Amino acid sequence: MNILSCFGLLLLFLSFIAVRFWKCLPWVKPKHHSQDGGCDDLKPQPIKGRERYRVMMDIRKLDTQNWLTIDKNYMAEHQVRSQLLQHEKQKVLQCLPESYEACLEALEEVVEFLCQRFPDRFVYKKCGDESTIHNKMTGETFSFGGQNNEVDPLEIAVRLTMEDLSILMKNADDEYYLAASASLFPVGWVVQDRIGWTISQLHNPVPLWHQQVATSVSKFLNRLTPSSPMERSNYFVEMKRPDEDLFETLYRPTTLLEDNPNPSPEDIVIRRERQTFRRLPRTGTLVFGVKTFLTTLDELPMEELQNLAKEVKSWPDYVGEYKGREVWGAKALEFCEKRTQPETKEKEREAEMMEV
């Protein structure tokens, strides 16, 4: 081998190393990561401003490295989650016996994901059959696997995540049903009342669900594979009292609407859910994740405020009733108009100037 081919080989080897380990170099920041390694730049889908109401699937491919999120609200929400699991456990956590293996697999996936994605916050150790996960942010350590079956695996999973997690399994009629669920931040329902319900039963109160999406949702769930996770977003409008704390705002088991006859824009909350859908490879069951984001009306960017007003006005009465529009609608629209008026006037003035 002459000196030239040695040099060529060395170059080839160096380019292989560069490509293979590029992401590990300390000065190369991974995509979507915030300064502290969290997901603070991960936002729910903006309100689109649809002209006509329709129940939409609106699903898109999930970027797997953002399956679960950790953001600046982690500690505050973790406290609420711990409180709920301590005082309202039956209401927020239910696992049917047949879901045990699926819940364990979901926990293993959660642990693997968190330790890989946030290695500075979670530490995993395995000793024989038993595994432990240590959460450096809260100081908590959980053991699972082996003989450890005192704490439900799904409970450990949602004590680590910001997401609520549910397991969907197939019943004898080939329909997906809620086999296990840790829904700590529900909207108008509690798991205790709806465990075991099919997707179709769960959505009975939703106007136009059966006419417009039931069949597509069922096809979509059947087609999910472990390598094709998906996500979608949903929003609700919620009213709170001025003195309300985070626990009360997040945990809404009966209604979205607190008694507040004269809400200010800070008391009207846009409650968004980022929902994720994954098929677990070992048990073949589905794991459904829901991350809740809260934004008050006054914090909403102008374009979304205009889009919200457009959508709220487009809802037929029976949809408005389901969403509580009679309680917050007038105040919200008044605020939208006040905020957007100066901008509209400015645009009109600019248009007039152009004409002159």
- Contacting positions for ligand HEM (CB under 6 A): 55, 57, 59, 166, 168, 178, 188-189, 199, 202-203, 205-206, 213, 217, 220, 232, 234, 236, 288, 323
Rounded to a whole number of angstroms, the minimum distance from the CB of residue 59 to ligand HEM is 6
177 and 17 Cβ atoms separated by less than 8 Å: no
Query: Which of 167, 201, 125 has its CA nearest to residue 277?
Result: 167
Query: Which of 317, 295, 321, 318 has its CA nearest to residue 308?
Result: 295
Burial (0-12, 13-18, 19+ Cβ within 10 Å), 295: middle
- Which of 137/202 has CB closer to ligand HEM? 202
- Which of 50/347 has CB closer to ligand HEM? 50
> Do β-strands 286-296 and 164-170 pair in parallel, antiparallel, or remain unpaired?
antiparallel
- Which of 206/294 has CB closer to ligand HEM? 206
Rounded to a whole number of angstroms, the minimum distance from the CB of residue 114 to ligand HEM is 22
- Which of 70/187 has CB closer to ligand HEM? 187
Rounded to a whole number of angstroms, the minimum distance from the CB of residue 215 to ligand HEM is 12
DSSP 3-state assignment of 317? Answer: helix
- Scored b (16 or more CB within 10 A) or e, 106-142 reads bbbbbbebbeebbeebbeeeeeeeebbbebeeeeeeb
Q: What one-character DSSP code corresponds to residue 45?
A: P
Rounded to a whole number of angstroms, the minimum distance from the CB of residue 242 to ligand HEM is 24
- Which of 80/168 has CB closer to ligand HEM? 168
Rounded to a whole number of angstroms, the minimum distance from the CB of residue 168 to ligand HEM is 6
- Which of 46/188 has CB closer to ligand HEM? 188
Rounded to a whole number of angstroms, the minimum distance from the CB of residue 220 to ligand HEM is 6
Radius of gyration of the chain (CA): 24
